[in-house]
Amino acid sequence: MTLALADRQEGYYRHTQPLGTRGDFTTAPEISQIFGELIGAALAQSWLSLGRPVPFNLVELGPGRGTLMADALRATRAVPGWLDGMELHLVESNIALRQQQDLKLATHRPHFYDTIEALPTNRPQLIVANEFFDCLPIHQFVRTERGWQERLIDIDQQGQFMFRLDHRSLTLKGIEAMAIGQVIETSPTREALTAQLAERIAATNGLLLIIDYGSLMDEHGDTFQAVRNHQPSNPLVDVGLSDLTSHVQFNPLKSAAIKAGCGVFGPISQHEFLNRLGAAQRYEGLSETASASQREILASGLARVIDPAGMGTLFKVMALTNLPEVPGFLPQEGTQPNIGALSA
Ligand code: SAH
């Protein structure tokens, strides 16, 4: 999964144009401008709650075409002081997408990074990651008569990729009782990244919003998928030409963040989050000056991203922060930072 997505020459997220009708998939900010605008409002409000630190880092992980950030910054530009002290940092591996982000966000002079490790850590940071964690690699384990065996990729006698179970079997604590054939997924990469960002937030103040598809509870089963031209595809064919993802398991990320000394809010569903941030009011406000056809686009786009029978429920939002409250979340949805965790 790492090679297929991130290899310097052949990796999917190095050389393709993944987003949009001519790409392979679309995302919430590409469907509704209100999505990025409300996230911008939540970030700016959190900056106020942090005591308007200046300077501060505004960070996006995997900004795609730069649409979310452009909408976020346009909607919040009237917040006094917010843009003056802001430095924009974008983590993006895809050169073609970087160029689009650079063009769209030129007035904010973005800084680009290949990896999270390279991001500056010296000041408060507000970070957003929409559909970023789902493309970080996972492991799959299958329950067999011999215990748990990892599902690996091998090459068959014709030289084609194939799935194969590792000959070694493992004992996975707490889930021995699952039925034969059951699959579970883990992602040490996602957990390590979350822990690293949580440590930084605990040390320098700030907020990370993770938005992605996944389950509120621990989820079992095979969620690995390949998508090409907006259709499911075979992950073992034309490697490097399809997007490979899996559902994000939020609970292990939450535990990793709490262990790193950071507070966590959620996860909650995207429709709850956007509705609480004022999606309907934003639509009404934009509609006042919109033409009939613009209103139609605004209404259908918003309906799609908040649809409780679709994206509104499939997608979840979780916040890592040392703030006592985060816009879009109820106080009881939060776990306060455990100050003793770091020294323990
Ligand atoms: N957030 C955007 C795009 C989501 S697609 C949106 O909502 O529209 C995933 C994004 O993460 C793309 O910009 C992709 O190029 C980037 N990306 C994927 N894996 C990455 C990695 N390992 N390092 C840096 N960027 C990555």
Whole-Å CA distances, 307 to 57, 108, 274, 304 = 32, 33, 11, 5
Neighbours of 227 (CB within 10 A): 16
Residue 36: predicted pLDDT = 98
- Using a pLDDT cut of 70, give the percent of the chain over it: 98
Task: Report the nearest-CA residue for atom 25 of ligand 1.
Answer: 92
pLDDT band at 49 (very low <50, low <70, confident <90, very high): very high
Mutate to test the pocket of ligand 1, among 13, 27, 102, 212 (most ligand atoms within 8 A of CB): 13
Task: Report the nearest-CA residue for atom 23 of ligand 1.
Answer: 93
| Averaged pLDDT score across all residues of the chain | 94
Q: What is the pLDDT of residues 269-304, one digit of tens each?
A: 999 999 999 999 999 999 999 999 999 999 999 999
Mean pLDDT of the 51-71 span? 97
Residue 339 in this model has a pLDDT that exceeds 60: no
Mean pLDDT of the 219-245 span? 93
Q: 195 alpha carbon to ligand 1 midpoint, in Å?
A: 19
Mean pLDDT of the 253-266 span? 97
Q: 32 alpha carbon to ligand 1 midpoint, in Å?
A: 18
Compute the distance between CA of residue 200 and CA of residue 190 in angstroms, rounded to an integer. Answer: 16
Mean pLDDT of the 14-20 span? 84
**124 or 338: which leads in pLDDT:** 124
Residue 156 in this model has a pLDDT that exceeds 80: yes
Mutate to test the pocket of ligand 1, among 132, 133, 230 (most ligand atoms within 8 A of CB): 132
Mean pLDDT of the 305-327 span? 97
Residue 344: predicted pLDDT = 42
Kindly state the DSSP code that residue 39 receives in the 8-state scheme: H
Q: 94 alpha carbon to ligand 1 midpoint, in Å?
A: 8
Residue 337: predicted pLDDT = 82
Q: 147 alpha carbon to ligand 1 midpoint, in Å?
A: 35
Compute the distance between CA of residue 125 and CA of residue 70 in angstroms, rounded to an integer. Answer: 18
Six-digit token pair at 277? 């941030």
- Cα three-residue angle 259-125-38, rounded to 5 degrees: 100
Residue 215: predicted pLDDT = 86
Task: Report the nearest-CA residue for atom 13 of ligand 1.
Answer: 64
Q: What is the pLDDT of residues 80-102, one digit of tens each?
A: 999 999 999 999 999 999 999 99
- Owner of token pair 């997007």: 243
Atom of ligand 1 nearest to the CA of 13: 15
Mean pLDDT of the 205-214 span? 97
Q: 116 alpha carbon to ligand 1 midpoint, in Å?
A: 12
Q: 173 alpha carbon to ligand 1 midpoint, in Å?
A: 33
Q: 91 alpha carbon to ligand 1 midpoint, in Å?
A: 8
Q: 321 alpha carbon to ligand 1 midpoint, in Å?
A: 22
| Ligand 1, residues at Cβ distance < 6 Å | 5-6, 13, 19, 27, 29-30, 62-64, 68, 91-94, 97, 130-132, 135
Residue 241 in this model has a pLDDT that exceeds 60: yes
Residue 343: predicted pLDDT = 46
Mean pLDDT of the 46-58 span? 97
Q: 312 alpha carbon to ligand 1 midpoint, in Å?
A: 20
Atom of ligand 1 nearest to the CA of 5: 19
Neighbours of 271 (CB within 10 A): 21
- pTM, entire model: 0.96
Mutate to test the pocket of ligand 1, among 92, 115, 243, 315 (most ligand atoms within 8 A of CB): 92
How many helices and strands, by DSSP H and E, does the chain display?
13, 16
Task: Report the nearest-CA residue for atom 10 of ligand 1.
Answer: 62
Q: Do 92 and 63 meet the contact criterion of CB atoms below 8 Å apart?
A: yes
Q: What is the pLDDT of residues 170-192, one digit of tens each?
A: 887 777 678 899 999 999 999 99
Give the start-end residues of each E strand in the chain.
Answer: 56-61, 86-91, 111-113, 125-130, 139-144, 147-155, 161-165, 183-186, 206-215, 225-228, 231-233, 243-245, 248-249, 263-269, 315-321, 334-335
Mean pLDDT of the 258-273 span? 97
pLDDT band at 14 (very low <50, low <70, confident <90, very high): confident
Mutate to test the pocket of ligand 1, among 89, 135, 138 (most ligand atoms within 8 A of CB): 135
Residue 218: predicted pLDDT = 77
Say what the alpha-carbon torsion angle 288, 293, 294, 298 is, to the nearest 10 degrees: 100
